[in-house]
Structure 1
Amino acid sequence: MQIKAAVARDRGCALSLESLELEAPRDTEILVRVVATGVCHTDMVVRDGLLPTPMPVVLGHEGAGVVERVGAAVTKVAPGDHVVMSFNSCGHCPSCEEHEPAYCHEFFPRNFFATREDGSSALSQHGECVHGNFFGQSSFATYALCHQRNVVKVSKDADLKLLGPLACGIQTGAGAVINALKVKPGKRFVVFGAGSVGLSALMAAKAIGASVIAAVDTQDSRLEFARSIGATHTFNPQRDDVVKALTEISGYGFDYALDTTGIAAVIRNAVLSLAPRGACGILGASAMGTELSLDEVHFMSGGRRLIGIVEGSADPEKFIPQLIQMHLAGQFPFERMVRFYPFEQINEAIHDSETGRTIKPILLISA
């Protein structure tokens, strides 16, 4: 079938809206009419060539839509079902068998290599291969093929236009707090980086009852927004001695810290802000080979912990419905971060995300 898609053809360049051919779903694949899809920082990192994804490629990995067709072996969903498409996983490695798909042993090839398992792509243009299957979906398009492992059926009462970002960015931030760090009520939590991931983490910390919630960012507008959704303290490192300020709040530091920046110096400060037995999660993407430097005596003597986190340590099949229920209950107002853009304005949406004008862009693909 003919579809419209945003194609990344050259590193660092704008995406181009093009007509492509999309193959029919194979036995284990699901054809989804994309209603809306979030724009994530990971899409920009791949567009800029910082990860090993081949070009030309259709990116997009926070898709929500309606099932159009299913392959012969698909039993999880049926045509007409409303779905969110999340990250892909293999289903048979030790992590997947223990219900930890975010740490699938094949996470990189299943999500970043932009091909099927056999190396083929379902996308083409006049005989030229266009890579697809990015995060098992490539949802910067009017239609996408996904898989039973990465599709989540949602209620038809839920607003599909809003749900796509639950598949990655929002799931990552909230899951870091709820699933990975397991922040407890009454404890102190600080997030470094108040983008959509960090703000999702902040909302989750408030929802579960953290008593002190701090946000650190260089944009005052983001800090103001953080206060409006529950931050009790905010700091701008361009003005504030963040580690000193965080330590002084309680006299000995915070119970939990989360870094969303991937910047080694910021991670060091996040760890330095921890109280004894505190835990710091890191989830920001950085260049391959980036090394961290910690104060070994401070880290070791206080029994502090550093935890790598992917996709919020979430099982999307369980966690996305949980986030939807939290949202419906008024405990997780992620809609306040969102701004909608027509699909044709995808490059404007990306620019607004990169410049901080929009916290979480969502592209409206079809009605």
Structure 2
Amino acid sequence: MQVTAAVSRSAGADFQLEQLELEAPREKEVLVKIVGVGICHTDIAARDQALPTQLPAVLGHEGSGIVEKVGEGVTSVKPGDHVVLSYTSCDTCSPCGHNHRNYCNSFLPLNFAGLRADGSKAFNKDGESISSHFFGQSSFSSYALASENCVVKVRDDAPLELLGPLGCGIQTGAGTFMRGFACEPSSVVGISGGGAVGLSAVMGAVAQQCGTIIVVEPHESRRKLALELGATHVIDPMAGDMAEQIRAIAPSGLEYALDTTGKKVVIKGLIGAMAAAGTLGFLGVPGTPEDAVLDIDVITMLATGIKLKGICEGDADPAEFVPVMVDLYMEGKFPFDKLCQFYDFESINEAVEAQHRGECVKAILRLEA
């Protein structure tokens, strides 16, 4: 079938809207008519070739839409179902078998390479193969051919065009506190970075009934938004020593903390603000080789019992967690719509630039329903 897709053809170049041919669904694949898709930093990293996705490619991995057709063996959804698309996994390795699909042994090739597991691609243009199956979906397209295990059925009365970011960015932040940390009520927690993931973490901490929620963010507008979403305190890291500012609020330190910035200096500040036996998670992708390597004071770690935890996708299982977030949103307890701004699909490059400039926290491309 013919689809309209945003194609990445060279590193750093604008997306190009093109007419492509998309294969019919194979075994365990689902054809989804996309109505909305979020723009994530990971999409831009793949476009710019910081991630090993073969170009030309159709990216996009925060899609939501309506099931159009299913391939042989699909049992979890049927045509007409409303769905959110998330990450994919092999479902056969040890981590997958122990409910850690986000740490699948084949996570990187299955989600980033732009290929099916057998090496094939689903898009073509006049005989030219175009990479597909980015995160098992490639949803920068009017239709996505998705692996069944990244397709999550959601309730029909929720605003479908809004829900796509729940499959990755929102899930990552909120899932960290609700699933990865599973924070106890009244916990003292901190979050560095007030982007989409960090602010989603705020909502996750609120949902877990954390008592003190401290957000470290240099931009005043995002500090204000953090307070609107339920943060109890906000800190400007440029106003003084970060650890000292946190301990002025929480003298005993943070029981749980999450870094979304990937910056070594920020992570060091959080380590200095941790409570004894506290857990520090990090999920921000370092922007430089220097930031990619942490210097750990072993004596401090031994004396305090601080735990460091790498986190992917919030340690959440999308099939379980995405419907939970949708329900919380519909109950008025998870207002992630405050992060979102809609753009027409044709304005994808404008949306990318607006997000880069900080004019919106989470851009969602809206396609015709």
The TM tier, using the shorter chain, reads: over 0.9
The residue aligned with 1:10 is: 10
Q: What SS is found at the alignment partner of 2:365?
A: strand
C-alpha contact 1:185 1:209 (8 A) present in aligned 2: yes
Q: What SS is found at the alignment partner of 1:37?
A: strand
Paired AA for residue 348 in structure 1: E
Q: What SS is found at the alignment partner of 1:238?
A: helix
Percent identity between matched residues is: 46
- The count of residues paired between Structure 1 and Structure 2 equals 367
Matches within 5 A, 1:243-254: 243-254=243-254
Q: CA deviation at 1:51?
A: 1.0
After superposition, give the CA deviation of every residue in 1:101-156 in whole Å (9 maximum; x if it has no partner). 11111100110011011111010111111101000000000000012211001111
Residue 350 (structure 1) aligned with residue 352 (structure 2):
yes
The residue aligned with 1:203 is: 203
Paired AA for residue 306 in structure 2: R
C-alpha contact 2:168 2:313 (8 A) present in aligned 1: yes
Q: Distance in 2 between matches of 1:24 and 1:240?
A: 57
Matches within 5 A, 1:225-236: 225-236=225-236
Scaled by the length of structure 2, the TM-score of the pair is 0.97
Q: Distance in 1 between matches of 2:245 and 2:170?
A: 28
After superposition, give the CA deviation of every residue in 1:284-313 in whole Å (9 maximum; x if it has no partner). 122596211123222221000000000010
Q: Distance in 1 between matches of 2:28 and 2:248?
A: 55
Q: Distance in 2 between matches of 1:70 and 1:54?
A: 26
One of 284, 297, 300 as aligned partner of 1:298: 300
Paired AA for residue 146 in structure 2: C
Q: Structure 2: which 5+ runs fail to align? A: none
C-alpha contact 2:189 2:254 (8 A) present in aligned 1: yes
Q: Distance in 2 between matches of 1:208 and 1:89?
A: 28
The residue aligned with 1:312 is: 314
Paired AA for residue 306 in structure 1: L
Q: Distance in 1 between matches of 2:182 and 2:100?
A: 15
C-alpha contact 1:190 1:256 (8 A) present in aligned 2: yes
Scaled by the length of structure 1, the TM-score of the pair is 0.98
Q: Distance in 2 between matches of 1:100 and 1:118?
A: 23
Residue 189 (structure 1) aligned with residue 189 (structure 2):
yes
Q: Distance in 1 between matches of 2:327 and 2:90?
A: 27
Matches within 5 A, 1:1-367: 1-286=1-286, 290-367=292-369
Q: Distance in 2 between matches of 1:64 and 1:297?
A: 48
Q: Distance in 2 between matches of 1:214 and 1:103?
A: 28
Q: Distance in 2 between matches of 1:225 and 1:81?
A: 33
Q: Distance in 1 between matches of 2:198 and 2:233?
A: 14
Paired AA for residue 151 in structure 2: V
Q: Distance in 1 between matches of 2:170 and 2:106?
A: 22
Q: Distance in 1 between matches of 2:298 and 2:256?
A: 18
Q: Distance in 1 between matches of 2:230 and 2:299?
A: 34
Higher mean displacement: 258-267 or 55-64? 258-267
CA RMSD of aligned residues (A): 1.2
Higher mean displacement: 41-50 or 304-313? 41-50
Q: What SS is found at the alignment partner of 1:170?
A: helix
C-alpha contact 2:177 2:208 (8 A) present in aligned 1: no
